[in-house]
Structure 1
């Protein structure tokens, strides 16, 4: 006779409520009540909420001022407070009082949640992952809210921002489908079937006959042999080797340092979304390169390195397409206007702009580092991102740098995921740098080719490595690294403005 052990299961029924159609009563006015109110407003900001407590802390009072749907009732709880309430949340630091309130609410037919007391709850408030219209609720059956929070953080970092765009596309497809319900379901299943397949699933190999492999290999080898023989009639091998050796000796040693500078700058910029200009300028100045050569060379080389970086970020899935579209056109317009004005009025006016930008980004850098150590990172909606991109493009051209420090740091300080911000800003940077460089070429021409080529070569080598690194760094590490780089960049500009450098 065998005894089968039945494992405990989570038998809670998951449901999403339209709380804006219901009334919620919160009993308590301290930190626990604040946590519950914040969760309610983050998910259903139009919910009507009544808060009953003898006293309220400052944070609850501030929240009530910001949300008119919250009404505060400064009194001790009484059964009459349950009138009109559909859902009751008890958040008082008194177990006996919590039990009495819970019993009274249930007697009157209300659904009750009692903070930190699962046995008194009719429902639990889950940890929620949000990606636009997609919402995932996580429950541990009341056993470990901490584990639910950790899972929430993991999903927030793992799930791409583009999921909301996928949902929009699926809605459009669904609206265009024809036929009865069964036919529509079949069509949608066929469309989404690819999402259920594992990327690592082995594919059936296509059998290629041995004779075909041999034929193709021989044909390719023959082409290379004939090509080599044909070239040798025009340039004998010995002479070609001599010319190659002479060319290598004729290269300015500074060229190799430029490759190193381009590599280092792109590693920083590709991984953190900023710092290309700062890193290049620092290295080139230490090598004794004059400032006009530095400015022109960096803007030109940045076109190629940012192009390689943007492609690499796109390849590794670090780009948010919606954010890219918002930043693109304003950033290009700002870059063209900034480059044109700088070409007309001269570089000295750019020096007046940099300190103001540096002061702003210094504050942002401090906020980013603070956010890295903050337990809960609230994601704020970014308003006027197009204007931000326009300002970044203008300052990058007119002020000699600032696209990454301004745009990347502002977006990250609003709670956006660093990986997708860096990827989206990096791919947009290619178009911004291209627009700026074309304008500079048209107005001033091009020079210092050996510096430009060295920076380009180093940047192309580093771009795919840096893009892959950006997707693997922990979020906290990226926050600290970005914030530190922004502060260093800002302090350098401010110190230079007062004559220290």
Structure 2
């Protein structure tokens, strides 16, 4: 009886059959103790930590020794390879630069029916080690049929960024649902299809309703705040009995600091547009160096930043970059922290300015160091805990210190392995409500006497926005982080030393 295959083999295609092994139930022989051997051993331990591995090599580097010191299932034997080493192993991996020995190991493995992978020698391999994308219980292996490990590595990086870590929670929930179903396999599949179809439709409807709701809230909040400011300015500075004379007197009322604020807004927006963070800390550093009143600094920054964060947050929401669960976890604690920070700075900022100014300078110095650290840090996936406390601290320090929501909240979540796309989107949309709450608090306690600072920063930011958008992605990100961080540190040190009377 002839069985026809549903898969048609084509010349030049990848005909490898993908298999996921329970490697922890097998034994592995690794021949080679150099950097390539370390790479292979690290791949084994990261995917199957309890696998019994025997490493045989004439020389064993420190990286392998360090790994063996923390894993009791790795055995090191510093000697030459012998044919008997294969007997107790189910899988053999070679990582040596000796063609003769590699050929010998290949023949020994073949004669004893053992599978072998030879690093950088596709012709000797029975199987290849692919690049692995791991998100909890989800694991994706990428193979290029031994043609280009570099391409496989690049695809791994792309998928790691695209696939959210939260997908593992979906898998956990689906398993719970699956275990509760009864019937045969076909019945379970049909029921799961029905359940997920309903959820998809429901989520689509909820998404549209949620989008309309939050869009209305953001629009009404922004409009209300705008008309509050407009009414205050009209009633305070433009008496209706003398509109013409007031308009003529406006140029004479503009102070020189207005033009400095345009420059500050321009610089801050340029940094924020290129890095995705740094607006507040850049403005705070510049305004501190100009001697602006402390509560006015933070109030002005948050009022000006509110407009840009509103547009940015809505754009992220529109393009599906927002994780609703993360957004809700950040929102309320962030607002509470921002209101408390704004209240405390408004209440005590002027009276204790001589004490608070060096503290804020030290804080911006810390943020500058954190920005530089971000240029060299590699993210390590971890479960993020106490997101609400992080948001509360970020909101408080952002209001009290004039900046820090991005460097603290965004960078912390990304460093814990969260998907950057969803972190930036969720933090951006929550930032609008945080800055709105902060600006309303400052407005209610300080009024709007510092309107020239706000208008100057808004105008400067508007001028810099298109330039920043053009620069984003074109300049080396690492260089930008180091440059901005160094500049913030320099100005913060200057302010700190000046506040302490050093010069």
Q: Distance in 1 between matches of 2:326 and 2:337?
A: 17
Alpha-carbon distance between aligned partners in 2 of 1:25 and 1:100, rounded to the nearest angstrom: 15
1:132 Cα shift? Answer: 4.4
Residue 38 (structure 2) aligns with = 34
Confirm or deny that 1:308 pairs with 2:311.
Answer: yes
Give the equivalent residue in structure 2 for 1:406. Answer: 408
Give the deviation of 1:79 after TM superposition: 3.8
* Counterpart check, 1:61 vs 2:65: yes
**1:187 maps to 2:190:** no
- 1:298 is matched with 301
1:73-112 maps to which residues of 2 (within 5 A)?
Answer: 73-112=77-116
- The gaps in structure 1 that reach 5 residues or longer are 195-239, 372-376
1:432/1:82 Cα in 2 relative to 1: closer, same or farther (>3 Å)? farther
- The alpha carbon displacement at 1:487 in A equals 3.4
Shift of 1:311: 2.2
Deviations 1:189-212 (A, max 9, x none): 856999xxxxxxxxxxxxxxxxxx
Give yes or no for the alignment of 1:368 onto 2:374.
yes
Residue matched to 2:432: 430
Q: Secondary structure at the match of 1:395?
A: helix
What secondary structure is seen at the aligned counterpart in 1 of 2:141? strand
Match of 2:447 in 1: 446
> Any gaps of 5 or more consecutive residues in structure 2?
1-8, 202-239
Task: Describe the shift of the 1:253–1:440 C-alpha distance in structure 2 as closer, same or farther (beyond 3 A).
Answer: closer
CA 1:322 to 1:121, structure 2 compared with 1: closer, same or farther past 3 Å? farther
Q: Matched residue of 2:403: which SS?
A: coil
Instruction: Return the offset for 1:395.
Output: 2.8
Residue in 2 that maps onto 1:113: 117
Instruction: Give the conservation status (yes or no) of the 8 Å contact 1:272–1:422.
Output: no
Checking the alignment, whether the CA contact within 8 Å between 2:95 and 2:119 is kept in structure 1 is yes
What SS class does the counterpart of residue 50 from structure 1 fall into?
strand
Per-residue CA shift, 1:435-458, capped at 9, x if unaligned? 54455566x443336247626865
Alpha-carbon shift at residue 416 of structure 1 (Å): 5.6
User: Aligned pair in 2 of structure 1 residues 288, 489: CA closer, same or farther (>3 Å)?
Assistant: closer
Determine the structure 2 residue equivalent to 1:280: 283
Deviation (angstroms), 1:118: 1.1
Q: What pairs up with 1:159-198 in 2 under 5 angstroms?
A: 159=163, 163-164=167-168, 167=171, 180-181=187-188, 183-184=190-191, 186-187=193-194, 190=197
Q: Partner residue of 2:272? A: 269
Q: Which residue does 2:132 correspond to in 1? A: 128
Q: Is residue 148 from structure 1 mapped to residue 148 from structure 2 by the alignment?
A: no
Change over 3 Å in CA distance of 1:137–1:479 after alignment to 2? farther
| Residue 236 of structure 1: aligned partner | none
* Aligned position for 2:237: none
Matches of 1:328 and 1:356, distance apart in 2? 27
The structural deviation recorded for 1:91 is 1.3
C-alpha contact (below 8 Å) 2:137/2:168 kept by paired residues: yes
Distance of 1:447 and 1:54 partners within structure 2: 76
Counterpart for residue 22 of structure 2: 18
Aligned-residue CA RMSD in angstroms?
4.4
Q: Quick check: 1:273–1:426 contact (8 Å CA) kept in 2?
A: no
CA–CA distance in structure 2, aligned partners of residues 352 and 63 of structure 1: 46
Equivalent residues of 1:313, 1:467 under 8 A apart = no
Task: Give the secondary-structure state (helix, strand or coil) at the position aligned to 2:139.
Answer: strand
CA contact (8 A) 2:54 2:77 kept: yes
Stretch moving more, 54-63 or 17-26: 17-26
Give the alignment's TM-score, normalised by structure 1.
0.71
SS of 1:24's partner is strand
Rate the CA distance shift 1:366–1:302 in 2: closer, same or farther, 3 A. closer
Deviates more, 1:248-257 or 1:27-36: 248-257
Structure 1 stretch 432-441 or stretch 299-308: which is displaced more?
Answer: 432-441
What is the TM-score when the length of structure 2 is the normalising length?
Answer: 0.71
- SS in structure 1 at match of 2:140: strand
Seen in structure 2, the aligned counterparts of structure 1 residues 495 and 300 have a Cα distance that, compared at 3 Å, is: same
Within 2, Cα distance between the matches of 1:168 and 1:484? 43
CA shift at 1:145, angstroms? Answer: 0.9
